[in-house]
């Protein structure tokens, strides 16, 4: 597996922005009494697949089809607040060893190739932070877990199922795959601190 931060991450943010823009436009044209409650921005696991036509499709799911050099998987976390840079620690753990892990100098891979720990500065853009990795030959089936720490605070866990696709069909919809821990993701809020007594 190897990290990807370009097109799939941008596509997911663009997709979220487009949905938000469309919902805002429809709200502006609807009388207040008929306006449905706005959907909250939330943290999600996602998968993107590049089809034979070169187009990328994005899915809100944690079922990863092991489509080599076509599928990517990642997380999007809503942190809110202004655009800023944060200190990110991302630990990706697989239940079986990967044959190879392609990563940059900010990533430390365990000797048994079941854990990749990435420490880096990342930009929170419009309140959102996200990252993804892409499937390469030799990535194992099984459970993949992301543990996310931001500015030294544990902020979330995303659990994925990596599922073998023998025919490597890129037209598969990952939402139709059986994943025993479907949407088993936890978001941790910032720790609450009591005001100091005077």
What confidence tens digit (pLDDT) does each residue in 69-116 have? 999 999 999 999 999 999 999 999 999 999 998 889 999 999 999 999
Separation CA 157–CA 188 (nearest Å) = 8
In this structure, how many other beta carbons lie within 10 angstroms of the beta carbon of residue 64? 27
Bridging pattern class, strands 128-134 and 71-78: antiparallel
**Residue 22's pLDDT band (boundaries 50, 70, 90)?**
very low
Rounded mean pLDDT, 171-175 = 92
- Bridge partners for 119 per DSSP: 89
Nearest to 80 by CA among 195, 190, 194: 190
Give ∠ CA 61-66-68 in degrees, rounded to 5.
125
**Residue 180's pLDDT band (boundaries 50, 70, 90)?**
confident
Separation CA 2–CA 139 (nearest Å) = 10
Burial class (CB in 10 A: 0-12, 13-18, 19+), 56: middle
Q: What is the mean pLDDT of the chain?
A: 79
Separation CA 175–CA 47 (nearest Å) = 9
Indicate if the pLDDT at residue 29 is higher than 50. no
Instruction: Tell me the two tokens of residue 47.
Output: 């998968």
Indicate if the pLDDT at residue 190 is higher than 90. no
pLDDT, position 182: 67
pTM: 0.73
Nearest to 75 by CA among 54, 48, 57: 48
């Amino acid at each position: 597996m190897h990290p990807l931060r370009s097109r799939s991450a941008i596509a997911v943010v663009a997709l979220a922005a487009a949905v938000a823009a469309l919902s805002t436009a429809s709200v502006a044209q609807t009388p207040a009494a008929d306006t449905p409650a706005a959907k909250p921005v939330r943290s999600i696991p996602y998968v993107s697949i590049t089809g034979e036509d070169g187009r990328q499709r994005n899915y809100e799911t944690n079922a990863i089809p092991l489509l080599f050099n076509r599928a990517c998987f990642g997380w999007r976390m809503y942190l809110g607040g202004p655009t800023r840079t944060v200190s990110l620690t991302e630990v990706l753990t697989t239940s079986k060893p990967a044959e190879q892990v392609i990563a940059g100098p900010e990533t430390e891979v365990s000797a048994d190739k079941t854990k990749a720990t990435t420490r880096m500065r990342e930009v929170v853009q419009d309140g959102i932070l996200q990252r993804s990795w892409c499937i390469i030959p030799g990535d194992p089936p099984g459970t993949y877990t992301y543990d996310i720490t931001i500015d030294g605070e544990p902020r979330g866990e995303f659990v994925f199922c990596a599922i073998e696709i023998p025919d490597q069909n890129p037209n598969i919809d990952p939402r139709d795959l059986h994943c025993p821990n479907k949407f088993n993701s936890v978001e941790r809020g910032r720790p609450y601190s009591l005001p100091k007594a005077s």
